[in-house]
């Protein structure tokens, strides 16, 4: 986030994102055909949020034992033919500082555990595509030439139709069409995702890159635009993880495993303002979540129509700041968010006859709502006292690891929860509160002339944090994202009309 006047204007004021409707899906916008074959993941921040996934493991060297067991694998030096490196590796943009977990931070037992998961995930992806690819494209599945971890700290370049430098692969995972291989940063990328978001998150990264390999085999890499290619790989990743949800593959992922993976998945994104036609475009969190959901719900056959039917793409019409300039100090960010929330929602609370919005302040230890009989939530709205409270250490850690809007959006959601509670509408309270957080966020992005402004990656950071913070309801992840998105694009004023819009 940033305070107005601290830099150049960022948004096209008054314009909300383009959400055109096509005959296939609501809120769709077909991307143009053409472009290169970039296939890397732009990595945003990780986060030290890993309570659900747990700190389990880190990659150790798999080049001998792991690759030797792969049918059709084989190690060796990647081929020198094919596109130039810039055509096959998506340059990543780190939008927030990572609270890093590296290989050296984790024990040998933890590393062995992750090694086993990666080996099983690769085997499961091979099993999956051996059946799925012929069903979609009516030709046999061809195994990848190579799959291996890469250590940027070793400083050794590798070939991908040209030389790739270690810094190009740092915090990244790629499919190289020139060498027909998948590799990933085993120093930082998988350690952070595994420690902070769990095994399923690591699997999603692998499945995304495998999706690019399938596009290459289907001769799609040069036939569709970069953003369609990336969203199609996201959809394929969702179709693969469905095996873990259904128990039809080698894994049995719980709902919390998948939700943690999705929270990590949101941090692999384009910042708002990245052009949807750009050569490195991957799509906003809205786009990627929709593609991932469609993969889970509709399967790989649906993903395969993206080149002709087009995925849903939302143009947020926002300009991004420099990647490292968008995080305010914790105390400044918290005060700015609370001031903005007070200003935005004051009209609604006045209409309720409550005078002013609830009091918001951190608590030190104990229960944020002593009279509620529950101490599970470390950030909460207390209806009886009309207080919003949070654990200061937890919020500071969240901002340090994920970004300032991660904390900002959680606070915004509590204002929504307060509004819903005061109106007496409590079903479904969680989804209404998520929607109202989106109403406020959309106002900040497109309408407000108040001091607070968005910076690059804010929405993605915020949505990731929102999904990792239990809301006490049975709402599933994709419903929560849909509620937030509805508020973001459809809400336009801070009154009780917004509560009605959100279903409260």
Measured distance CA(285)–CA(263) in Å, rounded: 10
Of 127-131, 339-343, 431-435, minimum mean pLDDT range: 431-435
Q: Which pairing describes strands 146-150 and 158-159: parallel, antiparallel, or unpaired?
A: unpaired
* 117 pLDDT more than 50: yes
Instruction: Report CA torsion sign: 370, 373, 379, 380.
Output: negative
Q: Is 175 strand, coil or helix?
A: strand
Mean pLDDT for all residues in the chain: 73
- What pLDDT does residue 377 have? 64
Question: Tokens in use for 3?
Answer: 């305070």
Measured distance CA(72)–CA(91) in Å, rounded: 28
* 212 pLDDT more than 90: yes
Q: Which pairing describes strands 379-382 and 359-363: parallel, antiparallel, or unpaired?
A: unpaired
Measured distance CA(483)–CA(442) in Å, rounded: 13
Measured distance CA(273)–CA(414) in Å, rounded: 28
* 76 pLDDT more than 60: no
**Cβ count near 172 (within 10 Å):** 26
Question: Tokens in use for 260?
Answer: 């943690």
SS (H, E, C) 22-49: CCCCCCCCCCCCCCCCCCCCCECCCCCC
Per-residue model confidence as pLDDT tens digits over 156-193:
888 998 888 888 888 888 899 999 999 998 988 888 88
**What does the pLDDT average to over 438-458?**
85
Q: Is 268 strand, coil or helix?
A: strand
Q: Which of 172, 298, 282 is nearest to 233 (CA)?
A: 282
Cα 338 versus chain centre, distance: 25
Measured distance CA(84)–CA(80) in Å, rounded: 10
**What does the pLDDT average to over 392-410?**
84
């Amino acid at each position: 986030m940033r305070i107005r006047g601290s830099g150049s204007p960022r948004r096209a004021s008054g314009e909300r994102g383009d959400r055109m409707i096509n005959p296939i899906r609501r809120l769709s916008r077909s991307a143009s055909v053409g472009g290169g074959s970039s296939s890397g993941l732009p990595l945003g921040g990780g986060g030290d949020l890993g309570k659900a996934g747990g700190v389990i493991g880190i990659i150790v060297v798999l080049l001998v034992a792991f690759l030797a067991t792969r049918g059709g694998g084989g190690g060796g030096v990647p081929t020198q033919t094919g596109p130039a490196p810039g055509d096959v590796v998506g340059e990543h943009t780190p939008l927030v500082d990572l609270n890093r977990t590296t290989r050296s931070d984790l024990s040998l037992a933890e590393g062995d555990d992750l090694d086993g998961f990666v080996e099983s995930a690769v085997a499961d992806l091979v099993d999956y595509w051996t059946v799925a690819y012929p069903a979609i494209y009516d030709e046999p599945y061809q195994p990848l030439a190579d799959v291996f971890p890469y250590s940027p700290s070793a400083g050794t370049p590798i070939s991908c139709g040209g030389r790739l430098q270690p810094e190009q692969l740092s915090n990244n995972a790629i499919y190289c069409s020139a060498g027909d291989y998948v590799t990933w940063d085993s120093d930082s990328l998988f350690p952070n995702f595994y420690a902070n978001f769990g095994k399923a998150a690591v699997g999603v990264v692998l499945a995304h890159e495998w999706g690019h390999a399938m596009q290459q085999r289907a001769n799609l890499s040069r036939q569709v635009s970069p953003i369609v290619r990336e969203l199609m790989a996201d959809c394929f990743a969702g179709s693969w993880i469905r095996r873990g949800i259904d128990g039809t593959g080698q894994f049995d992922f719980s709902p919390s495993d998948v939700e943690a993976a999705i929270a990590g998945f949101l941090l692999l994104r384009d910042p708002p303002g990245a052009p949807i036609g750009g050569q490195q475009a991957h799509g906003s969190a809205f786009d990627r979540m929709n593609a991932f959901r469609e993969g889970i719900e509709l399967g790989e056959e649906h993903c395969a129509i993206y080149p002709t039917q087009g995925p849903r793409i939302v143009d947020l019409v926002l300009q991004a700041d420099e990647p490292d300039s968008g995080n305010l100090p914790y105390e400044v960010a918290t005060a700015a968010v609370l001031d903005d929330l007070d200003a935005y929602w004051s009209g609604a609370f006045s209409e309720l006859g409550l005078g002013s919005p609830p009091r918001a302040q951190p608590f030190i230890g104990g229960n944020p709502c002593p009279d509620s009989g529950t101490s599970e939530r470390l950030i909460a709205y207390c209806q009886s006292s009309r207080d919003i409270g949070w654990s200061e250490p937890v919020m500071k850690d969240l901002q340090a690891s994920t970004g300032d809007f991660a904390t900002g959006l959680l606070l915004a959601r509590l204002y929504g929860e307060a509004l819903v509670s005061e109106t007496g509408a409590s079903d479904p309270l969680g989804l209404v509160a998520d929607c109202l957080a989106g109403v406020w966020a959309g106002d900040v992005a497109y309408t407000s002339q108040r001091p607070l402004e968005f910076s690059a990656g804010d929405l993605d950071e915020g949505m990731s944090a929102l999904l990792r913070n239990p809301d006490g309801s049975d709402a599933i992840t994709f419903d929560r994202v849909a509620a937030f998105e509805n508020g973001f694009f459809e809400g336009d004023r801070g009154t009780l009309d917004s509560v009605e819009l959100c279903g409260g």
